[in-house]
Every structure is written in C-alpha cells, then in structure tokens.
Amino acid sequence: MNLIFLGPPGAGKGTMASRLAQDKGIPHISTGDIFRENINNGTDLGKKVKSILDSGDLVPDELTVELVKDRLNQGDVSNGFILDGFPRTIPQAEALEDFASIDAVILFTLPDEEIVKRLSGRRVHKPSGRTYHILFSPPKVPGKDDVTGEELIQRGDDSEESIRNRLDVYRKQTQPLVDFYRKKNLLKEVDAGPAPDEVYEKLTANLP
C-alpha cells in the first residue's frame, strides 16, 4: 500500500503516519524529518536547507525530488510506504509519477485556529523525533521525553511568524494538489479535528 499524507502543517500527518507505519510494518517517509535529521547532523544538505525550514518556505523541488527518489529505491519499501509531506507542489507530484505508483492520498483537514493551537503546543524529542503536545498529548513529566527522560524542545519553525508563513505557503503551493489527486480519483478526506484515536479510526476505515 503506497500512501501520500497531505494536509496543512500541524494537522497531525506525522502523528498518524508513525502510528500507521508501525501497525502495517511499512516505512514512514517524512521529508521534513529527513531535512531536520540532516540539519542536526550538520551535513551539507542540512546547512543548505536550515534557513529555509526556519522560515517555513519550501526547499527547491529538484533537491526534494532527488531525495525522495533515492529513498524509494531502498529495499524496505517493497510492501508499501507512507509519504508524509511529499509531494508539496505540482512539479513534485508530476515528478513522483515517473518513479512511484500511489494507491491513495489521504487529505487531513483542520481549521487554521486549531492548527495554530497544535503547532504552538507541540514539543519534540530531537534525537528520536517523538512528538508531544503540552495539552493534547502531554509527556508523563512536563518537558521530558517519556522514554529517555531527555529535554523536549520546540521546533524552530513553530514560531508564530513561521507558522503564518507555512499556512500561506500551504495555501499557495500545496493546496492545488487536492484537485490534482481528486481528478485522479485517489483522494480520501479525513477530518483531523477529533482526538487522535478517533482520527486514526477514520483513517484506517478510508484505506484502500
């Protein structure tokens, strides 16, 4: 099962993708996570994209497409994969058609005011990527990762200014993909508003 998770920043794509990936035993491929890992490790790619991620703009298409193409060449995708945060532009979606076939595109929908609440309350364990929310999914000890007890941080792009830009970028550059995939009969919509268990139930009911 080859899936794309589409939707605005903070809708819960990453939360649902990591749960589904674990249940189905398929890889969760998040372009945002790959870029952040490179930034944390100080690679050339990380140095190139750091300021782009902090501002909430998009990394250039050619670079992102090559990265995903390489990732989909690895053996662990043979039973399926979840692409989280890719494609994000029409040129990316067109490029993807040359090297992967997609079974369904899940669109997670959430109003802007909920998005702002989710992103401003998000806390992350940097080494593992485990994600919490101070109100909706709090760690057992405030500010600490449940597994290692290490400090949780706020993502650099979860500042108010960057959130506003990410929403704007989503509307202008990513939302056109909704029609692109609807016309191909691949789009399934999931209301991302309810609590995580309910969203997950709706997600699994919508899978092909």
Catalytic residue check, 36: no
Catalytic residue check, 13: yes
Closest CB to ligand AP5 among residues 30, 81: 30
Name the catalytic one among 36, 118, 123, 166. 166
Of residues 156-175, which lie at the interface with ligand AP5 (CB under 6 A)? 157, 166
Stretch that binds ligand AP5, among 70-78, 95-103, 132-140, 175-183 (CB under 6 A): 132-140
Name the catalytic one among 19, 88, 118, 123. 88
d(CA 104, CA 3): 5
Quick check: 199 binds ligand AP5 (CB under 6 A)? Answer: yes
Quick check: 20 binds ligand AP5 (CB under 6 A)? Answer: no
CA dihedral 5, 207, 134, 172 (to 10 degrees): 30
Query: Inter-axis angle of helices 112-120 and 160-169, to 10 degrees?
Result: 140
Q: Please report how close the Cβ of residue 56 comes to ligand AP5 at its closest, in angstroms.
A: 5
91: phi then psi, degrees, rounded to nearest 5 = -60, -35
Quick check: 195 binds ligand AP5 (CB under 6 A)? Answer: yes
Quick check: 58 binds ligand AP5 (CB under 6 A)? Answer: yes
Catalytic residue check, 166: yes
CB–CB of 109/192 below 8 Å? yes
d(CA 172, CA 176): 8
Query: Inter-axis angle of helices 160-169 and 44-55, to 10 degrees?
Result: 90
Catalytic residue check, 88: yes
Catalytic residue check, 122: yes
Quick check: 59 binds ligand AP5 (CB under 6 A)? Answer: yes
| Interacting residues toward ligand AP5 by CB under 6 A | 9-15, 30-32, 35, 52-53, 56-59, 64, 85-88, 92, 118, 121-122, 131-133, 136-137, 157, 166, 192, 195-196, 199
Catalytic residues: 13, 88, 122, 155, 166
